[in-house]
Amino acid sequence: MSKVIKKRYTEEADYGFNLRTAREEARRCLLCLDPPCSKGCPAGTDPGSFIRSIRLNNIKGAAETIRSNNILGGSCARVCPYDRLCEEACSRTGIDKPIQIGRLQRFAIEQEKAFKMKVLEAPKKKKPFKVACVGAGPASLACAAKLALEGYQVTIYEEKEKAGGVLTYGITPSRLPEHVVAHDIKTVKDLGVKFVFGTKVGRDVDLNDMDYDAIFIGAGLWGDKLPDIPGVDKEGVWTAVEFLKTARVEKTKFKPGENVIVIGGGNVAIDCAVTAKLLGAKNVRIVYRRSIEEAPADMKEFKYALKLGVSITTEMAPAEVLGQDRVEAMAFTSRDGVSTAKFKADDVVFAIGQKPEDMTAIAAVKVNEKGEIKATKSGKTNLAKVFAAGDVVSGGKTVVEAVAEGKEAAESIIAYLAKKEGVK
């Protein structure tokens, strides 16, 4: 019999290091020249430096490196797909296996908190420019932090009651505990960034009427996306975003049905399946229309779901949601067209990608056919004073890339405002 693990919804999926074990791991690091790991990090968190610091017992210096390079260093340490970023690049792989970079990063950031370090400080003297950021997700937080560090006055508008975007309303707390996100966000708040919650830009406020010198849009992908098949309007059918948000808000009060089917093959699908399982669903099945090999989810995450007892069915595409008013079952057809299947279901979660809401309600930005904002790599849109980055531009990538892009957009905003500085 396979041994499945049982955990609570908020229980952490992974263990951390202590000083001794962290230094043991750092001792494996080869201290490479021009470290490939550092090049592998989109946000420039510089693992090559911080691991060296841990190895040389300069733990606070390690925390300083992480926090100064990546404002969401704590969250990234938990959720980055390292196996295709820094750890994939690690030279140690040529000997045995990569350095556990994410876990070392987690350790250093935990020390930052334990020692009550304040790595970043915004200048006392503020620049005479105001910037508004739409959304309090990773892209906006990174952009706002960078601007605040340069002395700009930044206000973030967030539709929801809390900051963090997907970090707070998406990823399961077992992978990303709330206190980790809260600590990262506090470092942004401590820089003097203002937050206005419960305010949807374009619905509740119009930034175009207000005296902001620049606007940054980091609104992510919060539009519904359901497939065009019969029965999707039935009760018990969820989009991944709604399902995860409900779980994050209601926590263990949220009770999914006994049989939950999650449709999709990305990390989001796995988060939904894991969430359902941890919240007490008995039979949780991920159904994906392609093969495991083609699935965008990380192997580490698949394994975790399997360990919890989630089953995975591949090469089956959803055909119809069955039932009266509420779902009772889900019908599928196989990729090769040979077979069909029907699985019992009390809840069906579609994790088949997200799309943006209507971004033109925020500003007259150009969008593509999927509704994603058209912006350059450095975050410039068709409007001189409007910038955008993160999922709303990329169509959905990773937290660390959203941080990198938010930081880069901040550079563009700084350059744009510098030109105006002479005028003011």
Ligand X SMILES: Cc1cc2nc3c(=O)[nH]c(=O)nc-3n(C[C@H](O)[C@H](O)[C@H](O)COP(=O)(O)OP(=O)(O)OC[C@H]3O[C@@H](n4cnc5c(N)ncnc54)[C@H](O)[C@@H]3O)c2cc1C
The answer to whether 388 contacts ligand SF4 (rule: CB under 6 A) is no
Angle between helix 47-55 and helix 19-26 axes, rounded to 10 deg: 120
Of the candidate residues 114, 115, 179, 203, the single one contacting another protein (CB under 8 A): 115
Stretch that binds ligand SF4, among 47-55, 200-208, 228-236, 413-421 (CB under 6 A): 47-55
The answer to whether 275 contacts ligand X (rule: CB under 6 A) is no
The answer to whether 226 contacts another protein (rule: CB under 8 A) is no
Q: How many residues bind another protein (CB under 8 A)?
A: 20
Q: How far is CA 172 from CA 8, 121, 240, 340, 404, in A?
A: 11, 31, 12, 32, 23
The answer to whether 21 contacts another protein (rule: CB under 8 A) is yes
Closer Cβ to ligand X, 92 or 397, answer by number: 397
Q: How far apart are CA 316 and CA 307, in angstroms?
A: 22
The answer to whether 137 contacts ligand X (rule: CB under 6 A) is yes
Alpha-carbon dihedral of residues 86, 166, 305, 339, nearest 10 degrees? -110
Contacts of 316 (CB under 8 A, 6+ apart): 287, 288, 289, 332, 333, 334, 335, 341
Binding track, positions 162-201, relative to ligand X; x by CB under 6 A:
---xx---xx----------------------------xx
Closer Cβ to ligand SF4, 54 or 363, answer by number: 54
Beta bridge partners of 216: 133, 387
Residue that is written with structure tokens 């490479």 in the block = 32
CA nearest neighbour of 79 among 308, 307, 408, 403: 403
Q: Which two tokens stand for residue 130?
A: 């105001």
Q: How far apart are CA 348 and CA 327, in angstroms?
A: 8
The answer to whether 39 contacts ligand SF4 (rule: CB under 6 A) is no
Identify what 257 binds: ligand X, ligand SF4, another protein, none; CB under 5 to 8 Å per kind: none
Smallest distance, another protein to C-beta of residue 57, A: 5
For the purposes of burial, counting CB atoms within 10 Å of the CB of 101, is it exposed (0-12), middle (13-18) or buried (19 or more)?
buried
Of the candidate residues 4, 5, 19, 31, the single one contacting ligand SF4 (CB under 6 A): 31
Site for another protein in 38-77 (CB under 8 A): 52-53, 56-58, 60-61, 64, 68
How large is the C-alpha radius of gyration of the chain?
Answer: 22
Stretch that binds ligand X, among 16-24, 32-40, 49-57, 389-397 (CB under 6 A): 389-397
Contacts of 167 (CB under 8 A, 6+ apart): 72, 75, 79, 137, 138, 176, 181, 184, 399
Q: Which two tokens stand for residue 351?
A: 């994790």
Beta bridge partners of 322: 329
Q: How far is CA 176 from CA 74, 171, 249, 263, in A?
A: 9, 7, 15, 22
Binding track, positions 75-94, relative to ligand SF4; x by CB under 6 A:
---------------xxx--
Smallest distance, another protein to C-beta of residue 111, A: 11
Identify what 193 binds: ligand SF4, ligand X, another protein, none; CB under 5 to 8 Å per kind: none
Smallest distance, ligand X to C-beta of residue 119, A: 22
Identify what 334 binds: ligand X, ligand SF4, another protein, none; CB under 5 to 8 Å per kind: none
For the sheet containing 316-322, what is the strand order?
Answer: 316-322, 329-334, 340-344
The answer to whether 30 contacts ligand SF4 (rule: CB under 6 A) is yes
Identify what 191 binds: another protein, ligand X, ligand SF4, none; CB under 5 to 8 Å per kind: none
Interface residues with ligand X (CB under 6 A) are 79-81, 134-140, 157-160, 165-166, 170-171, 200-202, 218-220, 222, 244, 267-268, 271, 357, 362, 390-392, 396-400, 402
Interface residues with ligand SF4 (CB under 6 A) are 29-32, 35-37, 47-48, 51, 90-92, 99, 101
